[in-house]
Amino acid sequence: MRIVLSQKGWVFDGLSGLEWLFLQRLPVLVNELSADEGALLRLYPDPIRESEEEAREGSGVDEDENESVVADWKNYVRPELETLFDEARRVVATDLERAQQFQEEGSVDEGEAGEQVFYSLEVSGEHVEQWNSTLNQARLLMNEVYDLADSERRLAEGLMEVSADAEEPGVGEDRSRQAQAYPKWLLLAQYGFYGAVQSFLIDTLMDV
């Protein structure tokens, strides 16, 4: 995959099937993970708690002493954030519908000639805020639900672990460890993919 600038905004060019799946799943994934009320604390942090853990446990600052702050947050701030986040996901979902599929001549296993399927998507620069918001939502929720680290080191360690497990087990060896590692690798790869796209948008198209 390449991400390149265009006159209108930017283009996801040469997306592989897996990369396209990650991209296509972006707004859907956020909607699914948002069903976890605990994970939502990452998107809508408590206004008077010092941490998400305190919010869950009910410790920290006494809500009775900050009743107006809590009421304003619940009645005005959080609904407005929810509206902005929902709108961002709708914009991304609409953009994804304009993706194009194409084929290129290439080689497959054992050198046999064949056609490989790729995807391309051009996005308007006017939608960069919505894309960045949705990517950020996805990464925050994934990190909360699946306990993924927001670092390249953790991603690399996860990939190395799976690579080590990828060798064919000997006769009688337990295959369960390998089976459990693959989903973790897939989540880490998806998480890292979203991070790479978000970094491009922030570094190239956003005024920060």
Q: Which domain holds residue 137?
A: 2-147
Q: Is residue 193 part of a domain?
A: no
Q: Is residue 135 part of a domain?
A: yes
- Number of structural domains (the chain) is 1
Three-class secondary structure of residue 7 per DSSP: coil
pLDDT tens digits along 175-187:
444 445 557 788 9
Q: Is residue 186 part of a domain?
A: no
User: How far is 162 from 194, CA to CA, in rounded Å?
Assistant: 20
Lowest mean per-residue pLDDT among 4-18, 86-100, 113-127, 189-203:
113-127
Q: Where are the alpha helices (DSSP H) in the chain?
A: 17-33, 52-57, 67-72, 78-96, 128-146, 152-165, 176-204
Q: Is residue 166 part of a domain?
A: no
**pTM score, whole prediction:** 0.76
Q: What is the pLDDT of residue 178?
A: 43
Instruction: Considering only CA atoms, give the Rg of the chain.
Output: 21
Strand order in the sheet with 2-5: 2-5, 9-15, 113-124, 100-107
Q: Is residue 104 part of a domain?
A: yes
Q: Is residue 152 part of a domain?
A: no
Q: Is residue 95 part of a domain?
A: yes
Q: Is residue 167 part of a domain?
A: no
Q: What is the pLDDT of residue 77?
A: 86
